[in-house]
Structure 1
Amino acid sequence: MKKHLAVLAATAVLGVTSAFAANPFSDVTPQDWAYQAVAQLASQGVVNGYPDGTFQGQNNITRYEMAQMVAKAMVRQDRVDAEQNAIINRLANEFSAELNNLGVRVATLENKVGNFKFTGDARLRYKAKENDGRHSTFDYRGRVKFEATVNDNTKAVIRLIGEKQFGTAARPKTEVDRVYVQHNFGKYATVTAGRQNLIVGSGLAYDDTFEGAVATVGKDKLNATVGYGYLLAGPAKSAFVTAATPKQNHEVNTYQVNFMPTEKVAVKGYFVDFHKNEKTITPAEDFHGAAVDVNLTDKVWVGGEYVRAEQKGADGEAWIAGVGYGEASMAKAGTWGVKAQYFDVKDQAPLYGTTWNFVNADRKGVLATVDYTVAKNVGLSAYATIDTKDQADEAKPESYRAELNYKF
């Protein structure tokens, strides 16, 4: 392939649009059909010329030169759409050997066999409750996720999990906890169907397993999701739960809008509609809520979430708000972050599978969190509640947790 053709293809992949970029090459004139493409990519640092100031676009491009362009394109992957991202990934596959020689780590190729990729994590965890030695436990968990590329727009995912508490007689609990297919419909629509994780808002009301379909339409700055299916976390919901009849999980529709007015601000609004039927004597109440996250600086975060059950009034409210400093990245040893969040959860608040496990109904107090990356892909997290009370202001036992997480 001639260099001019390769550069023209690269501008299409990267979506570079700086029409008035200056051309640095003496042998590419404004009359050249590839002048604008060459100038644009040169201004972005994606292409370089020779020491004598020429581009030599009439020559065939080498695999090494093409790999250099791919490496620079990979740096821009967070700024392109899904279709462009897929093209860059295919190019990274094709030029993986040259990229490795350039010292570029191609994350999408690691742990991959053909069109099959696997990742996973492991955790060791200690949990304790103040003045209650019976509730001090130590457990372990391992998860492996297998992801298969069906075609350019479709992938299938299966995740296996195994977990057990130390010292118990039972064998480790093992199951397939995620099975879903995800398909992209063009650049702006995605549908995920199967057993998947669902986060409503920032997770105060629900961050757990969901069986159903979720459709997302829009881009990162503004998108909307609609879901239909079953919430698998939370207490039994049917009055017909007996030893012979398993619990009936909630059948729901979920609606959520996500908006990022700036790169540092994220706002979410949602509504969850529970299906009612003649078998449900004590149906769960529909609920709505909103969440906001603001990065005041690169290291300072503030955020919160509010949720309310439609028919419960003040007894169905819950909120959490806090501030954080720093950020622990599993990819970089020595990074750390701390958070302090105040929570206030009324007796009938709609918490079915909250991401904050210490946040329970009829409780209020402070949740303190510390995260530290011990080594690359090894993180230590510690949590503790402070000044926990019920809604009548009676003191309640504090909870503590420490966990060591590994990613691979």
Structure 2
Amino acid sequence: MKKHLAVLAATAVLGVTSAFAANPFSDVTPQDWAYQAVAQLASQGIVNGYPDGTFKGQNNITRYEMAQMVAKALVRQDRVDAEQNAIINRLANEFSAELNNLGVKVNTLENKVGNFKFTGDARLRYTGENDARESKFEYRGRVKFEATVNDNTKAVVRIAAEKEFGAAGAPAVEADQVYVQHNFGQYVTATAGRQDLTVGNGLAYDDTFEGVVATAGKDKLNATVGYGYILAGADGSVFKTAKTAAENHEVNSYQVNYMPVENVAVKGYAVDFHNNKAGKVEKDFHGAAVDVNFAGHNKAWIGGEYVRAEQSGANGEAWTAGLGYGEADKAKVGTWGVKAQYFDVKDGAPIYSSTWNFVKKGQKGVLATVDYTVAKNVGLSAYATIDTKDQANKEKPESYRAELNYKF
């Protein structure tokens, strides 16, 4: 393609207008048919000439030169319509190798069409327990669809399918995320619908939430308020059998996240139950979590979390504390991380659907975790409980789990 034709196409794709743009190239005159297009793109910094001040519009454009124009177009994607956006994404996919050489990351562009993109993950999991009759193999796949509504709003739907190997029937399929998110300026974001909610670091609740969550602030200091329903959890959840809205609990959640210094994160939270569903009565709870990362020491970590059900005394407490070393990065093959975390969960602790979803109420012990990136976007994780006992120090069966996680 001749360079004149390329810049004419670029003006159409980008919608660039500059009625009185001056032409900087000595070999492009007002009499040339492509004069206006060249002048417009030059004024926007999208095309550049040669050191001698010429444009050489009769030459064939190289892939590298075209990639430079596409890179400039990517920066302007928020200023074009959906059709133009789709053209830019197709060009970026075509010239992805050259754009990567320019340092432009386009690894997700192949999953975008206009203002729409999708991502996903898949998991193979093995779970077992000492003294248990059977081990369990499961598989899960999720696809997440995300559409940009406008500059400040996006809509998300995620479909998940999960099944135990050998179990009767087809995989259970559900839309586990359906929400819209809107930014109100630079400091306030509101998300409404079916979404994930992690309270603190997830000791008490890390699962599905239906309602509205608003966050105000920046990375160093922000606050989150939520109103809605916490839904059926994983193993160990008191909502394990809850299937309808009438069985789920209506709550308000409050959380403050603060980074007093770099690499230190502190979280404080409280959850209040409305207790007006199906006659169930749950106790409000509050807690705090802290994480300290030592970036200069191969990403060493120390952290912990404490949660307590109000008016429950010591029997309503749960806490964790641990150490970690390294970090598995799914983008970097061979990276790894290990953690050892002590847990103590009393019988009356407010553990509804925990990140630690195979640690049971009334138990204490150590959770050991190993993460390793076996291939790009493929991670292997292994978990095991050690020295597990009940609150009377009677030995309990150990739990263990291994899983392969694929990201795409």
> What amino acid does structure 2 have at the position aligned with 1:159?
R
RMSD: 3.4
Using structure 1 for the length normalisation, give the TM-score: 0.75
What is residue 101 of structure 1 aligned with on the other side? 98
SS in structure 2 of the partner of residue 329 of structure 1: coil
Cα contact 2:118–2:145 (8 A) shared by 1 = yes
Answering whether residue 233 of structure 2 is matched by residue 271 of structure 1, we say no
Q: 1:370 — aligned with what?
A: 370
Q: What amino acid is the match of 1:287?
A: F
| Cα 1:86/1:217, change in 2 over 3 Å | farther
Give the equivalent residue in structure 2 for 1:174: 173
More moved, 336-345 vs 166-175:
166-175
Q: CA deviation at 1:190?
A: 0.5
- Asked if the contact 1:358/1:385 (under 8 Å) is kept, the reply is no
2:126 matched residue in structure 1: 126
Corresponding residue of 2:25: none
* Distance verdict in 2 for CA 1:311–1:110, change over 3 Å: farther
The whole-number CA distance in structure 2 between the counterparts of 1:143 and 1:113 is: 19
* 2:288 counterpart residue number: 290
CA deviation string 1:313-354 (max 9, x = no partner)? 111000011011110011111111100000000000001110
What is the distance in 2 between the residues matched to 1:323 and 1:267? 16
Q: What is residue 320 of structure 2 aligned with on the other side?
A: 320
Distance in 1, Cα, partners of 2:359 & 2:79: 44
Return 5+ residue gaps in structure 2 as ranges.
Answer: 1-47, 54-64
The TM-score with structure 2 as length reference comes to 0.75
Amino acid at match of 1:359: V
C-alpha separation in 1, matches of 2:106 and 2:273: 44
Shift, 1:260, TM fit: 1.3
User: 2:231·2:242 contact (CA, 8 Å) conserved in 1?
Assistant: no
* 2:333 is the alignment partner of 1:333: yes
Can you list the C-alpha shifts for 1:214-260, whole angstroms capped at 9, x where unaligned?
000111111101000000034567xxx999x9851010000000111
Aligned CA distance change for structure 1 residues 132 and 349 (closer, same or farther; 3 Å): same
Question: Cα deviation per residue 1:19-50 (whole Å; 9 max; x = unaligned)?
Answer: xxxxxxxxxxxxxxxxxxxxxxxxxxxxxx99
- Alignment partners' CA distance in 2, 1:145 and 1:159: 4
Pair 343,242 (structure 1): closer, same or farther in 2 beyond 3 Å? closer
CA distance in 2, matches of 1:199, 1:373: 25
- Counterpart of 1:109 in structure 2: which amino acid? L
Kindly tell me the number of residue pairs found equivalent between the two proteins: 342
Whole-Å separation in 2 of the counterparts to 1:398 and 1:274: 33
Structure 1 residue runs without a partner (length 5+): 1-48, 57-61, 74-83
**1:154-193 aligned within 5 A:** 154-193=153-192
Contact 2:247-2:278 within 8 A present in 1 as well: no
Residues 64 and 165 (structure 1 numbering): CA distance in 2 closer, same or farther, change over 3 Å?
A: closer
Superposition deviation, residue 67 in structure 1? 6.0
How many Å separate the matches in 2 of 1:247 and 1:118?
A: 33
Which one has a bigger Cα radius of gyration? 2
Structure 2 residue aligned with 1:402: 402
Matched residue, 1:359: 359
- The 2-side partners of 1:253 and 1:370 are apart by 35
The answer for the alignment partner of 1:42 in structure 2 is none
Q: Distance in 2 between matches of 1:87 and 1:403?
A: 43
Work out the CA distance in 2 between the residues paired with 1:205 and 1:182: 25
Deviations 1:352-380 (A, max 9, x none): 11001122210000000001111001111
Residues 100 and 151 of structure 1: is their aligned pair in 2 closer, same or farther, counting only changes over 3 Å?
Answer: farther
Which runs of 4 or more aligned residues in structure 1 lie more than 4 Å from their structure 2 counterparts after TM superposition? 49-52, 62-71, 84-88, 90-95, 97-100, 234-237, 279-282
What residue identity is the alignment partner of 1:285? K
Q: CA deviation at 1:65?
A: 5.5
Aligned to 1:34: none
C-alpha distance in 2 between matches for 1:313 and 1:383: 31
Within-5 A mapping of 1:51-70: none
